[in-house]
Amino acid sequence: MRAIVCKHYGPPQSLVLEELPEPVPGPGQLVVEVRAAGVNFPDALVVQGKHQYRPVPPFGVGCELAGTIKALGPRVGGFSIGQRVYAQGSHGAFAEVALVDADAVRPMPDDLSFEAAAGLSITYNTAYYSLVILGRVSPGETVLVLGGAGGVGLAAIEVAKACGARVVAAASNPEKLAVCAAAGADMLINYSAENLRERLRHFAPQGVNVVLDPVGGAYAEPSLRAMAWQGRYLVVGFAAGEIPKIPLNLVLLKGCSVTGVFLGEALSREPETARAIETGVGELMAAGKIRPYVSARYPLERTADALNDLLMRRVIGKIVITP
């Protein structure tokens, strides 16, 4: 079977497509024939050694997938060969066949495509954990989503709307903003062309209650300055590449909180939080309130292009590898 392997940390073009023996599932594991694998910004950071998670090379790349079960290891119950499943948290999703822990595998809803299911876990789990569990968004509140047309951003718009919030989406061009609007955003800001702080003052004169920030860089401080009393600023990531330094007097003056969002750590440290996220996202999916938006598909041999497109800000919503 063919798989994308990171042999040493470096840019996406240093990844290698290798022919490897098919994995054999051990106790508690199963083997999935991958039909689609979600591409996430953290994948691009991990292969460069720029993420907090630093596996030792060589390692298989890609951490979420959807496909059909090919083999079951000992002591795996509740699954059958050929079943359609999706999974998060495994290495080696960018491959024809992947080995996954049964604990991380879920049956796919019947009406979902492999491509949509492959991009379901990380973005929606991050958005739900941020906005519902940490941000406690309530109906009528105003939520600002930076990088609104990104994977996490678009998921966050849908989750915030499902919470009954007014959503301001900010992104870097009109095409991205049109997708934010289609996902439910009520107000749009092109932060490449408009003054973010002024537009926020216009849309939310009383201030923004919650900021979801997967971008960082120069957008963080104007967003914090636009917050309402006792707002919640959710630090999700730094796609802009620059970690902002915040004057803490602003936090005092707004009586607001700045909360770090670390989904992977929360899932492994807090079983109750993990269950709440899974249940919550499942309910939103069943209610038709979230619809994964897949904008492009890449074959395995174009994995580097997929990761570079993310790094170059060329992607809208989710992209997937289809082995």
Ligand X SMILES: NC(=O)c1ccc[n+]([C@@H]2O[C@H](COP(=O)([O-])OP(=O)(O)OC[C@H]3O[C@@H](n4cnc5c(N)ncnc54)[C@H](OP(=O)(O)O)[C@@H]3O)[C@@H](O)[C@H]2O)c1
Shortest distance in whole angstroms from residue 188 CB to ligand X: 11
Residue (25 or 38) nearer to ligand X, CB: 38
Determine contact, residues 84/107, Cβ cutoff 8 Å: yes
> 143 forms bridges with which residues in the sheet?
167, 210
Rounded CA-CA distance 106/116 in Å is: 14
Residue (96 or 270) nearer to ligand X, CB: 270
Residue (201 or 313) nearer to ligand X, CB: 313
How buried is residue 288: exposed, middle or buried, by Cβ count under 10 Å (0-12/13-18/19+)?
exposed
Determine contact, residues 18/60, Cβ cutoff 8 Å: no
Shortest distance in whole angstroms from residue 43 CB to ligand X: 8
Question: What does the buried/exposed string (b/e) look like for 102-131 if buried means 16 or more CB atoms within 10 Å of the residue's CB?
Answer: bebbbebeeebebbbbbbbbbbbbbbbbbb
∠ CA 59-62-68, nearest 5°, is: 110
Which bin fits 184, alpha (ψ -120 to 50), beta or left (φ > 0)?
Answer: left
Residue (241 or 299) nearer to ligand X, CB: 241
Shortest distance in whole angstroms from residue 247 CB to ligand X: 22
User: Which one, of 231, 145, 220, lies nearest residue 188 by Cα?
Assistant: 145
Residue (60 or 214) nearer to ligand X, CB: 214
Shortest distance in whole angstroms from residue 151 CB to ligand X: 3
**Which residue, judged by CB position, is nearest to ligand X in the bound state?**
150
Determine contact, residues 195/174, Cβ cutoff 8 Å: no
DSSP class of 133 = I
Residue (122 or 204) nearer to ligand X, CB: 122
Residue (34 or 149) nearer to ligand X, CB: 149
Helix runs in 183-302, H state only = 196-203, 220-225, 248-254, 263-269, 271-286
Shortest distance in whole angstroms from residue 72 CB to ligand X: 30
Residues interacting with ligand X, by CB under 6 A? 40-42, 45, 122-123, 126, 147, 149-153, 171-172, 176, 214-215, 236-241, 261-263, 310-311, 313, 315
Q: How many CB atoms lie within 10 A of CB 52?
A: 10
